[in-house]
Amino acid sequence: MSKTFGALSTTDEVLDGIDLSGKRILVTGVSAGLGVETARSLKAHGAHVVGAARDLKKAERAGEVIVAEKNGGFELIELDLASLKSVRAAADSLVKTGEKFDLVIANAGVMACPKGVTADGFETQFGTNHLGHFVFINRIASLFKPGSRLVNLSSSGHRFSDVNLEDPNFEHTEYTPFGAYGRSKTANVLFAVEFDRRHKAEGIRATAVHPGGIKTELSRHMSADALDKLVEELNAKRPAGTPEFTFKSIPQGAATSVWAGVKAPADLVGGKFCEDCHVAVLEESPDLRSGVRAYALDGEHAKALWAKSEEMVGERF
Q: Catalytic residue positions?
A: 154, 181, 185
Q: Which helix (H) or strand (E) holds 275?
A: strand 273-275
Question: Distance from CA of residue 198 to its chain's centroid?
Answer: 19
- Bridge-based pairing of strands 48-53 and 101-106 is unpaired
Beta carbons within 8 Å of 162's beta carbon, 6+ residues apart: 182, 183, 186, 293, 295, 296
Rounded Cα gap, residues 89 and 94, in angstroms: 9
Task: Residue 7: name the closest of 243, 199, 222 by CA.
Answer: 243
Rounded Cα–Cα distance for residues 59 and 51 (Å)? 8
CB 118 within 8 A of CB 83: yes
CA distance 237 to 229: 12
Q: What is the DSSP string of 21-78?
A: TT-EEEEE-TTSHHHHHHHHHHHHTT-EEEEEES-HHHHHHHTHHHHTSSSSEEEEEE
Q: Is 163 left (phi over 0), alpha (psi -120 to 50) or beta?
A: beta
Distance, in Å, from the CA atom of 6 to the CA atom of 244, rounded to the nearest integer, reads: 16
Do 106 and 151 contact (CB within 8 A), yes or no? Answer: yes
Q: What residues form DSSP beta bridges with 207?
A: 151
Rg (CA), the chain: 18
